[in-house]
Chain A
Amino acid sequence: MSSFSLLDLPSLFQYQFFVFALVGGALAAIVSAWIGLFLILRKESMLVDGVAHTAFGGVALGLFIGIDPMLGALAVSTVSVFGITYMRRKGLAQSDSAIAVMMAMGFSLGLIIISMAGGYNTDLLSYLFGSILTIDQGDILVLVSLAVIIISFMVFFYKEMLAVTFDEDGARLQGIPVNALTMAFNLLVALTIALSIQVIGIILVVAMMVLPGLTALQLKRSFKSTLIASTVFGTLAAVLGVMLSTIFDVATSGVIVFTAAGIFLFVAFFQRLG
């Protein structure tokens, strides 16, 4: 453990890497919590895990051909999420099988590219486990832009997305363009995963998208309150996670996930007591 004391915490704010990590973590947490709550209610939580693992192939591809690995991750995540949806809709595979197929394909793509490149490198590992403390101003700008796109869509189509999530057939009958909204939402899922990978890493991205929503659902409130609570819990986990990991000098992504899990257990326990 480091010799850092809590009294030294304010001094951390003079370091740009720390401020960027807090801002980046909070942004990723907000969009993950919003998208994650809809995924939980659509019973598609494992879609995140499958698509995130598929993104490994995209990151490897990006590094190999010399483009931004996040672009590679975004491209492969998008193909993956649409592939899974297509297989499910056309009856080619059940949801879990479709996810397994795409996950295996994405990972295999990564392995093939790694072997062609002559082995692992540190960049690739940083995408597997996240590298929030290394994000710079450019990354923050990308994160802000993506967050604005995702949040704008979710704000403007809030009522439509809620209607589709609650009752797809009913929404279709009401004239809501269910297929177009589902496609747009899938694209946002891919975007959120690509955005969160840098913060939390491929392996743990599912936790950041699912735990805040799951925690908020324990409160048994209205949808609007649940969405707000989910955002608060996600942001709290990211901010506390960055601070605690800096204080104790341990892996940030791991601490963020453990903090989110701790908040979940705390809320679930007190809800049951009440």
Chain B
Amino acid sequence: MENIIEVQGLTVRRGTTEAITNASFEIGKGDYVGVVGPNGGGKTTLVLALLGLLPKTSGSIRILGQEIEGFKQWDKVGYVSQYAINFDSQFPLTVKELVGLGRVNQKNLGRFRNKDDWNAVDEALTMMGISDLKEKRIGQLSGGQRQRAFVAKSLVSKPELLVLDEPVTGFDPITQEKFFMQLANLNQKKGITVLIVSHDLAAVFCRMSRVLCVNREVHGSAITDGKVPDDLLKKGYGEHFHFAFHDHRCQGVFIDEQL
């Protein structure tokens, strides 16, 4: 399988602390990856390094087959940060304007947006089911609507990789379920590789095809039929950690596919 991300011997320092130590892993095209691990374990650091927003101390990162240092196709990568929905709610921006910002990149610097750009905006809004909200100000949206608007913004450049950092924090179970179903749809029907940082282990093991457990070291494993790789979690959360999870709970998560 073609790899979207290849990491070899990655070490990242934040200040005097080594936040990621000698990590090596791959993410294949079409993977649906959950990044889990304890608070302060380095999940966000890992994501920021993969996106080139944080310098690496050593090792190599390849995205879409290119070394990150020379990588220019950032329009192929969509990112929603964990702080995305905590913007200034007074900022005068409509959903359509926000999603339109996703079409701004190095290639169209100083150029006016054309019909294709706005068609792509409409398509992304439809994909996330928020077309009816496009004239609303982003400050008027609920948490779930905001998150979908930000995902639409990251989809508008038609990315091959979508990275979301703790996208469902503070969501009620139904909103969370709707959101994960839309992401699964993007992954399965559009073939977009999705990487999600999450504390919700049940959602990761029920929904996703791979897991990366981060606690300075990064350990990866495939997820088969919702089975929890116990050894992997112990490496991340500690020897005494036991995740009381039964795969039949996955059926409970998919309680109503009509949501």
Contacts and interface: CB of A to CB of B under 8 A. Distances in A.
A160 B104 contact: yes
Interface string B61-85: 0000000000010110101010010
Nearest to A224: B97
B236 to A, nearest CB: 26
A217 B100 CA distance: 21
Contact of A174 (B88, B90, B98, B104): B104
A173 B54 CA distance: 11
A163 B101 contact: yes
Interface residues on A, range: 20 to 34
B92 A176 contact: no
Max count, chain A CB within 10 A of own CB: residue among B91, B92, B109: B92
B121 to A, nearest CB: 12
Please classify the interface of chain B as helix (H, G, I), strand (E, B), loop, or mixed, using the class held by over half of its residues: loop
A174 B105 CA distance: 5
Interface string B172-214: 0000000000000000000000000000000000000000000
Contacts of A174: 74-75, 102, 104-106, 157
B257 to A, nearest CB: 33
A223 B101 CA distance: 12
Contacts of A176: 104-106, 109
A160 B109 contact: yes
Contacts of B77: 173
A175 B74 contact: yes
Contacts of B84: 167, 170
Contacts of B110: 156-157, 160
A203 to B, nearest CB: 28
Interface residues of B, number: 33
Interface in B34-55: 51-53
A159 interface: yes
Given A166-B87, A167-B87, A220 B92 contact: yes
B255 interface: no
A177 B109 contact: yes
Nearest to A213: B92
Nearest to B73: A175
Interface of B: 51-53, 72, 74-75, 77, 79, 81, 84, 87-88, 90-94, 97-98, 100-102, 104-107, 109-110, 113, 135, 137, 139, 157
Interface of A: 41, 156-157, 159-160, 162-163, 166-167, 169-177, 216-217, 220-226
Given A157-B109, A221-B137, 11 more contacts: A160-B110, A170-B84, A171-B104, A173-B79, A174-B75, A175-B107, A176-B105, A177-B106, A222-B137, A224-B97, A225-B92
